[in-house]
Amino acid sequence: MDRIKITGGNKLNGIIPISGAKNAALPLMIASLLTNETLTLENMPHLADVELLTRILGNHGADYSVNGRREHQNGSYERTVHFTTKNIVDTTAPYELVAKMRASFWVIAPLLARAGEAIVSLPGGCSIGTRPVDLMLDSLTALGANIEIENGYARATTKGGLTGAEFTFPKVSVGATHVALMAASLAKGDTIIHNAACEPEVVNLADCLNAMGAKIEGAGTPTIRIQGVTSLNGARVRVIPDRIETGTYAMAVAMTGGDVVLQNTRSDLLTSALDVLRQTGAEITDVENGIRVVRNGHGIAPVDITTDPFPGFPTDLQAQFMGLMTKAKGTSHITETIFENRFMHVQELARLGAKISLSGQTATVEGVERLKGAPVMATDLRASATLVIAGLVAEGETTVNRVYHLDRGFERLEEKLSNCGAEISRISG
């Protein structure tokens, strides 16, 4: 298994191109199952999760082709991928595939809406909490689906198609909002979703569905209205920039010091996280087609955060922010409200010399003068990025094991960081 070796101490200076968002690419790819025409997705990230979902979609009948991997002057790569599902050839998403990536459960919506049946494995336990699927299934039930749970599979069926409905999610869920949007787009009549997720990835999906002929209004607000249509067509849609990748590199610069332009991204995708970073002492400004992050000299100021649904501080940046706070000049409190058990990185950060104590859903981080390199283990996608951030300032060598977690969500991470002066490399095998 690959490892990443980092020798800490270098500042970051230069340009980091930001990739298309994994969390937007996945639902857009799944939406391609809703039409027999071609959905073309620009700015697709090249990631293990995208490859896996491509295989899953292939199982249901999707063909795909990739347009080059053109390198631009600024070092970014553009990948455009075309997905075409002439016919749904299989309505079952098996355990072996769904268990590897939770988001693949969302295929339940297009399979049901287009083929009248979906048999999808329940995703099972996950390392960052129980993450049930009840909200997704409830929204499909509200739209008239019949749901049965049998042998670890959810079997959703509809006789004569789905029907529009008005319902309120008891909790904000990105995945459940995606599922409801896709299903309601092909339902008969109108749907109103209350307490919908407002994340930019939901807006990207709604824009994609509208480009395919759906009639959706209000995405990006808690109330979304959908007028069902009988069929959807092909379209060409651009994946939004990855706000989590953007925030991760912004935190890396805030940690190491230096001056980096994050290119092909937008500050409005992560306003709350950038505001917090400013409070820690980083200077952050908008530049053409990107964001400039500068931190010189002064120590890192401690800041308390609580994760919240968008536009709050994203849970997917909580671990990285904790990495930054391990070197703050004082004590900070980090409260996780979205997922239980999303503090596995605490133990690994402690191996580098961080001082963190946990009480319920709050971590208290006492900043230390220095971190010291050590072998550490990536436990999930975002936790892995934290260990890299900490490794960039730890004295001596840090080796991050189980790098496959990073490969799920960060495209060419070592290349992007080493181009800015970090001493980081991948050890294969």
Q: Is 163 exposed, middle or buried (0-12, 13-18, 19+ CB in 10 A)?
A: middle
Active site residues: 126
Give the interface size with ligand UD1 as a residue count (CB under 6 A): 22
Nearest partner of 185 among 137, 227, 237, judged by Cα: 227
Residues 344 and 200: their CA atoms lie apart, in Å, by 27
Distance set, CA 138 to CA 132, 134, 169 (Å): 12, 6, 9
CB of 389 to ligand UD1, least distance (A): 18
Residues 77 and 71: their CA atoms lie apart, in Å, by 5
How many CB atoms are closer than 10 A to CB 126?
14
Confirm whether residue 186 is marked as ligand binding.
Answer: no
From candidates 11, 12, 19, 23, binder to ligand UD1 by CB under 6 A:
23
Contact call for residue 273 and ligand UD1 (CB under 6 A): no
Residues 182 and 29: their CA atoms lie apart, in Å, by 12
Confirm whether residue 132 is marked as ligand binding.
Answer: yes
Helix/strand/coil for 333: strand
Beta bridge partners of 395: 372
Distance set, CA 286 to CA 301, 312, 399 (Å): 22, 20, 34
From candidates 4, 28, 93, 133, binder to ligand UD1 by CB under 6 A:
133
Contact call for residue 195 and ligand UD1 (CB under 6 A): no
Contact call for residue 136 and ligand UD1 (CB under 6 A): yes
Element (DSSP H or E) covering residue 163:
none
From candidates 339, 367, 376, 394, binder to ligand UD1 by CB under 6 A:
339
From candidates 175, 323, 353, 367, binder to ligand UD1 by CB under 6 A:
175
Instruction: Considering only residues 304 through 323, tell me which ones interact with ligand UD1, judged by CB under 6 A.
Output: 315-316
How many CB atoms are closer than 10 A to CB 66?
12
From candidates 81, 112, 176, 420, binder to ligand UD1 by CB under 6 A:
176
CB of 27 to ligand UD1, least distance (A): 7
Contact call for residue 338 and ligand UD1 (CB under 6 A): yes
Contact call for residue 131 and ligand UD1 (CB under 6 A): yes
How many CB atoms are closer than 10 A to CB 226?
28
Nearest partner of 387 among 189, 257, 255, judged by Cα: 255
Contact call for residue 148 and ligand UD1 (CB under 6 A): no
Taking CB atoms, the residue at the shortest distance from ligand UD1 is 175
Confirm whether residue 316 is marked as ligand binding.
Answer: yes
- Residue ranges for the known binding site for phosphoenolpyruvate are 22-23
- Residue ranges for the known binding site for UDP-N-acetyl-alpha-D-glucosamine are 102, 131-135, 171-174, 316, 338
Write out the residues near ligand UD1 by the rule CB under 6 A: 23, 26, 102-103, 129, 131-136, 171, 173-176, 197, 201, 315-316, 338-339
